[in-house]
Amino acid sequence: MSPDLAPALRASLLGIAVNSALAAVKIATGVAGSSYALIADGIESSADILSSAIVWSGLRVAAEPPDENHPFGHGRAETLASFLVALALIGAASVIAVQSIHEIITPHSTPKWFTLPVLAAVIGVKAWLGRRVARIARETGSAALAGDAGHHWADLLTSTAAFVGISIALIGGPGYESADDWAALFACAVVGMGGLRLLRPRLHDLMDGAAPGEVEQRVRAVAGAVPGVAGVEKCRIRRSGLGWWMDIHVEVDGQLTVSEGHAIAHAVRDALTGSDLRIMDVVVHVEPARGEGRS
């Protein structure tokens, strides 16, 4: 297993364990305390369990080495997992929105006061978990884990909205019973927008979209600094899993022997794969420098 994937897998398992406990507590407290906002929050935590499981499965598959049927490795599993996590966010927001509207138009009793300390504890746990998973996502470069962190932040948002809504309902008294339902509706709108923001870059990766300009600039700089490289011509980069795969054309002295050009190509490959750019593999093409016999 790649050392980059080990902490990401542990973070996914941690998310599954924490969200399982939180979902049970929130749904049970929401039912006992007559708060649909808290029940909706529990549903969102249940969706987090699914997303963390998807991320864990995707990372496990992505860790598999290349084989005869997958010569470029299994990194796409990680990208696909992040895509499914974004869809899960949107789906959870839609379900909560529909039920929130139903609860708003259906008279019900005021939430109980004991739901507030439960939500306060949940908010603290979610803030800790969201920061931890987001940090590991940055360290490993995992888009799927970043999506999972987004799920945790969304859950924190729904919990905060529920806390505010229940507080308004309790302070306002009769006539304010639906405040927590409006809070749930507001939270799910933000959650849905977060899912859409996660979805777009994952579609870009699945369609072999180009790498960001700053990544290409760094690749060109690393390759151009290798002794014997006169310039960098083409550079095609795509993301798969936790890293980048690329083809690069470098220009060298046209009078060099094949062996000498081959040695420079190997030096370029070693420089790129040895950098901190998370380059999984690179194919280096050697071209004669401009004006040296090129058509």
| Domain at 213-288: CATH code | 3.30.70.1350
Q: Which one of 3.40.1280.10, 3.40.605.10, 3.30.70.100, 1.20.1510.10 gives the CATH number of domain 5-206?
A: 1.20.1510.10
Predicted local confidence at residue 295, as pLDDT: 43
- At 92-107, the pLDDT tens digits run 788 778 877 877 787 6
What is the CB neighbour count within 10 angstroms for residue 144? 33
User: What letter does residue 209 receive in the DSSP assignment?
Assistant: P
Asked whether this chain's domains 5-206 and 213-288 adopt the same fold, the reply is no
pLDDT in tens, the chain (295 residues): 454 667 878 888 888 888 888 888 888 888 888 777 777 777 777 777 877 788 788 878 877 877 888 877 787 887 888 788 788 878 878 877 887 787 778 766 777 888 889 889 989 998 998 899 888 888 877 777 877 787 788 778 878 888 888 888 888 877 777 787 787 788 778 778 877 877 887 787 777 787 888 889 999 999 999 999 998 988 999 887 778 889 999 999 988 989 999 999 999 999 999 888 888 889 999 999 875 554 4
**Residue 256 DSSP symbol:** S
Contacts for 89 with CB less than 8 Å, ≥ 6 apart: 47, 51, 147, 150, 151, 154, 191, 192, 194, 195, 198
Domain ranges of the chain: 5-206, 213-288
Give 197's contacts (C-beta < 8 A, 6+ positions apart): none
Secondary structure class of 65 (helix, strand, coil): coil
Q: Quickly list DSSP for 38-57.
A: HHHHHHHHHHHHHHHHHHHH
Q: Which of 190, 195, 188, 193 is nearest to 97 (CA)?
A: 188
